[in-house]
Structure 1
Amino acid sequence: MAATMEVTFECQSEMNSVIYCLLLAIMYVGSLYVCGIQLPRDHPKTVTRRIAAVTIVCVIAPIFLLFIGQPTGQDQPVRWLWHWLGIRWEGFFLAATLPLLLTMILFLGPLSMAIVDLYQVDSLVSPRMWCEEDFCSLIFLRNFIVAPISEEFIFRACMLPLLVPCLGITKSIFICPLLFGVAHAHHAIERFRSQEQLLNILFSFIFQFTYTTIFGTFCAFIFLRTGHLIGILLCHSFCNMMGFPAFHQIFSYRRPISAIISILFVVGLASFIYLLFPLSDPSLYNNDIYHF
């Protein structure tokens, strides 16, 4: 056990590192149900208690990491626990802007649709707002503040320091998001309780698992490349606001609007791929935490 906040993480075994991460995932998802409320997930009492529960888990998780970590040796650079968790000042401004900019470039098509809808420019569809909730509501607090912070903190900042020493950078980037995707299975349980059709539940779970796993891979990549938590928090919140791109609505617009939007989808994806490595270059963020 680490005696101070100066800590390093060494590989005990690949199995142990995965088990530790599973325990963190179980703690997080289990906290959503430990309060025992049978009310709908959007009921104010449910939202309030779940926010309190995940907040407690986020306090416990770093303590859990301290028990697993080892004190920093004399021949090792000083690494505070907060550095491993992506909480540091070096490169903070760029970490708060460049990953978000990269994500917005990827969403160039959906952003253009949102702008067209917002100003109702020659559109055949009714305006779609990114966020219909009141900015002061509990739903907004949960979806765009608490969920991004708690999920990224637990599933990226707390898990990757455990996985990387044993599995390496590449494997960790792809394994960590699988836990994130599986953790969303509890939504299927809630749909089942609401007596939704089983086929719809299965399709929804497969879709959500795939989408969250892909998104989790991107966040793990950005976290390890930048060594910062702030960037993936903002990206997560932005993606929650945007939702999954509404590809099926592209051709609901009159020409040439639909053609322009289609081009922007392609340009956004191509630009994202081209800029992914340059904008996440560890040297921009003074990142040597994960030994790039």
Structure 2
Amino acid sequence: MADTPITNTHQYEAWNGYEGRHWADHQARYDALNDELNAPLLEAAALRDTDTVLDIGCGNGSVTRLAARRARHAVGIDLSAPMLERARTTAETEGLHNVTHVQGDAQVHPFERSAFDAVLSRYGVMFFADPVAAFGNIAGALREGGRLAFVCPQSFDRLDQARIFEAVARYAPLPDLTAASATGPASFADPSRTRAVLSAAGFEGIEVTPLETHQHWGTDPADASAFLFGWGPMRHWLRDTPEEAVSRAREAATEAFGGFVTGAGAGAGAGVRLRSRSWLVTATRG
């Protein structure tokens, strides 16, 4: 159990159950989905070797470690004990000694005030139960003029992944991932809402810039489909679906992934690559 308060109990349970274990056990696979976001995110954060940096929703710690190589010290915070264990082990293996990992809920965690020069996050800010309160707490952890940089998904229908889900949904029920929601993957898909939340939380100079990257889903369509159907949300959505329907849905996903095969053999860029569209959000603490 985390040593500090948890308000986002649903997410805490998910990330300390199957979902968190799956991410920890498949660290390289999940990083392959999002690693193309690292360079623009770190460039936007403009880290200096004197900075103390906070990584929100650090997960397995990939971005935290990258930040630590550029900054004086990096702190990663996440709800998931399995992923934090993986993050700590990897940092030790890589010989990084200027990294700290904390299990906690960034919405209410008692950060030391004005302790950080920069806060960043790669897909780790969309699930706050109360986004204004969460970003207000984060703003308090930043020094005056401190920098915020994060990436979050655009609307689901603008991602190639939507094509795969359309194929699955022909045989098995899935939620409407294009629907607007106050929390969840698409919670910051609307830039106007993002600006309103950050402004209310005490940030200024808010910029929202589109990013187009690619996600590496697997070596071939069958591999990509197997990975997708092991993903926690997919297992949750299909838990009551008859086995025959799940099997048909998986076959449909494999066929759909076939439209996104690129390269040949085991060379760089080979495999199943889906286009992803994100927002790069930057701001400063007022």
TM-score (norm 1): 0.27
Higher share in helix = 1
TM-score (norm 2): 0.27
Larger relative CO (CA 8 A, sep 6+): 1 or 2? 1
Structure number with bigger Rg = 1
Higher share in strand = 2
